[in-house]
Amino acid sequence: MTRFDAAAIRRQFPIFDRHPTLHYLDNAATAQMPRSVLDAVIEHETASRANVLRGVHRLAEAATAAYEAARAEIAGYLGAGDPDEVVFTGGTTASINLAAHGFGNGLAPGDEVVISGLEHHSNLVPWQMLRDRRGLVLKALPVTEEGRLDLDALDRVVTRRTRLIAVTHVSNVTGAATDVARLVERARAVGARVLLDGAQAVPHGALDVAALGVDFYAFSGHKMFAPNGVGVLWARQEVLESMAPFMGGGEMIRSVSLEATTYAEPPRRFEAGTPPIAQAVGLAAAARWVRALPAEAVQAHLARLTGRLLDGLGTNPRVRIIGPKGLQARFPVVSFDIQGIHPHDLCQIMDGHGVALRGGHHCAQPLMDRFDLAGTTRASLAVYNDEADIAAFFAGLDDALGRFR
């Protein structure tokens, strides 16, 4: 195993030069960008900035080549067979809305879509809107006391009328990882498709969507060390080919007359307008950067830090961890509630210690209702976090506990 050096990783992130005392534990919201990603974006904008697909001049050709190379890089990161299965979007929310229109509009009244009580609003609201448009039945898998999808309910909730199961790969609140194999097995048994919201999973390493056996995979760039404004919807070729476009405009057509339009093949059918070109180049650079990390050592490093958080929080009688208390099938996202301290007060006091946390409902209000909470405080780790971040977290926590007895 390659030796892992968190300090060396941290030095690759210019944000920590500007903020040397920053303890950034809000990575589930947005991760920071390494210099190689920033450089890739600047290099592209400096040397190859142009619109894609249409121009014949040299910059346009360079921009198109860079954009398509980014698509191939992301296909490789996801383990997708064909780069044309990768649709660039604005982010996870845009990706899921695309699926809800392109795939969802083909569903019939009475068809069922299954979501869960663990979802981010971005994998919940688009399906409610689809339900209302198409007269569908929307059902939800329940959440266990440990903050996991309750897959024991699969046989009851997923029926022969189920056309799609759309759930999170990793919870943005509890950190729980979904048992995808079990989910896919049930989906296949009834002929349903599976969509995973992978926003919290992709920053932690390359995937194998073929092995996962899912049909759709959605994620954002900004949570995996890439710029804002780019995301991906991956879907199987035959699924994409069956989907109608979501947004109309330039780039997504084959031919247009005043009366009618024929559409381009996927993925361009779903990329109306000028796409986020430099952002896609940055996303590809981020994918290369993550893939170059020693995966096993990174995983061990993050598991150790997550264990420190869970152990330190778990021994405090005023703290209730919202999520798995162990390291099994969980990612480094740790949410908790403290008796007598509101999440925003805690985050404010933590900020005074240089610790960046997230407090609130995390765009997961049904999950908050499940635990009878208005919100939680969340610490989420990335590869550049270290022992000093954890120490600062607990120093800030002690301060807050003392102020609000």
Partner 1 sequence: MNEDIYQAAIVEAARRGAEDRRLAAPDRSATADNPLCGDRVTIDVALNDGRIAALGYRARGCALCQAATAYLAEAALGKTPAEAASLAGEAQKAVTPEAAPAAAPWNVFAPVRAHPSRRDCVTLAFEALKCALG
- State phi, psi for 386 to the nearest 5 degrees: -145, -175
**For 372, left (φ over 0), alpha (ψ -120 to 50), or beta?**
left
Residue 404's nearest CA partner among 354, 349, 363 is: 349
DSSP letter, residue 317: T
Residues with catalytic roles = 363
Q: Report the 10 Å Cβ neighbour count for 152.
A: 11
Closer of 211 and 374 to partner 1 (Cβ)? 374
Q: How far is the CB of 381 from partner 1 (least distance, A)?
A: 23
How far is C-alpha 274 from the geometric centre of its chain's CA atoms?
23
Q: What is the DSSP string of 357-389?
A: -EEE-TT-HHHHHHTT-S-EEEEE--TT--HHH
- Contacts made by residues 253-257, CB under 8 angstroms, sequence distance 24+: none
Secondary-structure percent of the chain, ordered helix, strand, coil, rounded to 5? 45, 20, 40
**# of chain residues touching partner 1 (CB under 8 A):** 17
- Kindly tell me the sign of the dihedral angle through the C-alpha atoms of 345, 395, 375, 19: positive
Contacts for 389 with CB less than 8 Å, ≥ 6 apart: 23, 24, 25, 305, 355, 381
Q: CA 223 to CA 200: how far, in whole Å? A: 7
Q: CA 297 to CA 252: how far, in whole Å? A: 43
User: 355-394: which residues touch partner 1 (CB under 8 A)?
Assistant: 359-361, 365, 368, 374-375
Closer of 104 and 359 to partner 1 (Cβ)? 359
Q: CA 79 to CA 236: how far, in whole Å? A: 12
Q: How far is the CB of 370 from partner 1 (least distance, A)?
A: 14
Closer of 193 and 362 to partner 1 (Cβ)? 362
Q: Is 231 in the site for partner 1 (CB under 8 A)?
A: no
* Packing angle, helices 277-292 and 35-47, rounded to 10: 150
Q: CA 167 to CA 148: how far, in whole Å? A: 11
b/e per residue, 348-368, with b = 16+ CB within 10 A? ebbeebbbbbbbbbbbbebbb
State the virtual CA torsion across 91, 224, 356, 366 in degrees, nearest 10: 50
Q: How far is the CB of 351 from partner 1 (least distance, A)?
A: 6
User: 322-361: which residues touch partner 1 (CB under 8 A)?
Assistant: 342-345, 348-349, 351-352, 359-361
Q: How far is the CB of 93 from partner 1 (least distance, A)?
A: 16
Closer of 66 and 392 to partner 1 (Cβ)? 392
Where does this chain bind partner 1 (CB under 8 A)?
342-345, 348-349, 351-352, 359-361, 365, 368, 374-375, 403-404
